[in-house]
Amino acid sequence: NEGKWRRNLLAELDGEDFGDHELAEDMEKDINGVSHELETFEISTATQLHEMWRSKRASLPDGRFEPRIKRIGDREYDIANLEFKDLPDYFKLENLLAAHAACDSIRRCWTSTFENDDGDDGRQRRFRETLKTKEFLEHASTEQHIAWLKRNKNHAWVTEEQQLPYAQLSEAEKQKDRDIVLAAIDVYLDHDFVSASGSENLSAVS
C-alpha cells in the first residue's frame, strides 16, 4: 500500500490539468519510495488542514457548516460538510499536496540534522525542540510557498503579491504558509512518527 494516495490520485485525475505537468511527474517519482509512516503523516496533516478550513466557516443552527458546493460532472458535493476521508479525490488534492510539502520539510530536517546522530538518546528531544523554533517555521514556510507557486503559479486567480518570494509577502500571506507548517508540526508532535518505531520511518523516501 506504499504510495497509495498518490496512486489513487494519479488514477482519478488522469487527463486532468494539474496546472503544471511537473506536479504529476513529482507524484510519480514519490510513489515507489514513500514509507507507510510518511504517507500516514501526510494524510493526517491533510485531514487537519481540511478541518482547519471548514472550522472557519459559519455554523448553522442544525450543527452543519455553511455549505460550500462543488461539482464534478453531474454530481454536487458539499465539501464543507464532508470529512476529509469522504471527499472525492479531486478535492483532496490540494490539501494532500500542501501536507506533502510541509511533512517533507520536517522529514528533511530530520535526515539532514539528526538521522546520523548515532548513540545520542537526546536527539528526539532536540529534534522536537527544533520543530518549535521560529527559524524552522520560517524555513519550512518558505519551502511551502515555493511548492504552492509551483502548483498554482499559472492560475488566473493567483494575485501579483502571491507571485512574490516568501520573504516579500505580507504577514497575512506568510501566515497562510505558516498555518500549514504548524498543522504538520502539531500532527508530528501528537503522533511522533519517527520515534514510534525508528528513525527510518520519515527518511524512507527518495
Cβ atoms 30, 3 nearer than 8 A? yes
Task: Give pLDDT tens digits along the chain (206 positions).
Answer: 445 666 666 666 555 554 444 555 555 555 445 567 777 888 999 999 999 999 999 999 999 999 999 988 899 999 999 999 999 887 888 888 899 899 999 988 988 877 666 556 678 888 889 999 999 999 999 999 999 998 888 889 999 999 999 999 999 999 999 999 999 999 999 886 654 334 445 544 33
Give per-residue burial for 141-162: e unless 16+ CB within 10 Å, then b.
bbbbbebbbbbbeeeeeeeeeb
Residue 53: what pLDDT?
94
What is the pLDDT, as a whole number, of residue 73? 84
- At 203 the pLDDT is 47
- pLDDT the model gives residue 20: 47
- The distance of Cα 167 from the centroid of its chain, to the nearest Å, equals 20
pTM: 0.79
Q: Helices 21-31 and 134-152: crossing angle, nearest 10°?
A: 120
CB atoms within 10 A of CB 26: 17
Q: H or E stretch including 69?
A: strand 69-72
Planar angle of CA 147, 153, 156, nearest 5 degrees: 145
pLDDT of residue 5: 61
